[in-house]
Structure 1
Amino acid sequence: MKQHSGMRPHDIAILLKIAAKQKESWLMKDLSAELGISASEVSESLNRSVIAGLISPDKKTLMRLAILDFLEHGLRYVYPQQPGALVRGLPTAHSAPPLSDKIMSDQPYVWPYAEGEVRGQAIEPLHPKLPQACLKDNKFYALMALSDAMRVGRAREKKIAMEEFKKRIC
């Protein structure tokens, strides 16, 4: 069995991309192309997730309750984030759907992205190519924005984000 060297931020993006696909079949090369992550790194990521108990050994079946538990209790500690400078970008956390319909805020949070149309406080994405990947897949975008709400949100935002995760992942 391989050694577990710790989870990496893009491991969460890969797991949430699989969750966004729901029952749609996929191959590692599909994930690689859609996320802009090399095929070998997708493979290594899935190996780490198997060892962590977040995906089954067949590397196809998500361990949904384990993922929800990690998102709720671990994500903000393992991949903490503080809002940064004002930049142009793609809305995330409470500034993006599905939370933007439920939470009003004068301070938008964004992933820095040159082609973005919103100016807000910078939140470093879990992977540099995340904005481009999210623009191609609304379900994935929603899950990634919810994960950022767990990383930077207040108690109310986190509670609403977890309710949304449960609707989308379970």
Structure 2
Amino acid sequence: MILKPQDVFICLKLITMGRRPWTYQQLSAALFMSASEINAGVRRAMRARLAGPGPEGGSPQPNLMALAEFLVHGLKYAFPPDRGAMTQGVPTAHGTAPLADAPGIPGDEPIPVWPHPSGPAKGYAYSPLYRSVPEAALADPELHALLALVDAIRDERSRVGNMAIRELQARLSQKHSH
């Protein structure tokens, strides 16, 4: 079993859904992936202990503690980003909320964007975890924020990464307490 970047993408979407039951068709529509890709990703995430069975045999749920540990300590090594030329796209990492207005973020340099023809910003190309990330992020602001935090952690800028880690941990602990 080899974990794939889309498995993390799926787990992040599950976080935004809270503890509500879900179907593979719902996730497929929300993430612009096939139901079979979702099914395989959930199975890999469960095998890696990033997700587990839901209460009373319900829909699998993210394992927030394990996911936080992996996102903070393993993601940048397992799935480092590729950077490219200036392009139109969807802002990510420190180019969008919640990090865009954080102190210490240089406002005069290009921002990272996931390449997308109808993206609202121009910046340098930054590879998303999965090809449908831009579409899913545009449709779900909470998912967009989580993906942006994860991308800031995948980046090598330690100051931005440290801010992203604190914000991500705060969001996950808030979800854990509900």
Q: Provide the TM-score with structure 2 as the length reference.
A: 0.88
Does the CA-based 8 Å contact 1:81-1:152 persist in structure 2? yes
Give the count of matched residue pairs.
166
Q: What's the secondary structure of 1:19's corresponding residue?
A: helix
Does the CA-based 8 Å contact 2:94-2:100 persist in structure 1? yes
1:17 aligned residue (13, 16, 23): 13
Read off the aligned partner of 2:61 and give its amino acid letter.
T
Read off the aligned partner of 1:34 and give its amino acid letter.
A
Summarize deviations over 1:21-47 as a string: whole Å, max 9, x none. Answer: 123332221111110111111111111
Partner residue, 2:39: 43
Does the CA-based 8 Å contact 2:89-2:115 persist in structure 1? yes
User: What is the deviation of 1:85?
Assistant: 0.6
CA distance in 1, matches of 2:113, 2:61: 31
CA distance in 1, matches of 2:71, 2:153: 7
User: What is the deviation of 1:62?
Assistant: 1.6
User: What is the deviation of 1:128?
Assistant: 1.1
1:132 aligned residue (125, 129, 135): 135
Does the CA-based 8 Å contact 1:88-1:112 persist in structure 2? yes
Partner residue, 2:27: 31
Does the CA-based 8 Å contact 1:93-1:153 persist in structure 2? no
Unaligned runs of at least 5 residues, structure 1: none
Partner residue, 2:176: none
RMSD: 1.3
Unaligned runs of at least 5 residues, structure 2: 174-178
CA distance in 1, matches of 2:50, 2:61: 9
1:114 aligned residue (113, 117, 120): 117
User: What is the deviation of 1:60?
Assistant: 2.1
Q: Provide the TM-score with structure 1 as the length reference.
A: 0.92
Read off the aligned partner of 1:119 and give its amino acid letter.
K
CA distance in 2, matches of 1:136, 1:166: 23
Partner residue, 1:77: 77
- Summarize the Cα distance change of 1:86–1:165 in structure 2 as closer, same or farther, 3 Å threshold: same
Read off the aligned partner of 2:52 and give its amino acid letter.
S
Alignment of 1:87-166 (within 5 A): 87-102=87-102, 103-105=105-107, 106-166=109-169
CA distance in 1, matches of 2:116, 2:20: 29
Read off the aligned partner of 2:117 and give its amino acid letter.
A
User: What is the deviation of 1:151?
Assistant: 1.0
User: What is the deviation of 1:117?
Assistant: 2.6
Sequence identity (%)? 37
Summarize deviations over 1:71-99 as a string: whole Å, max 9, x none. Answer: 11111111111421111111001101101
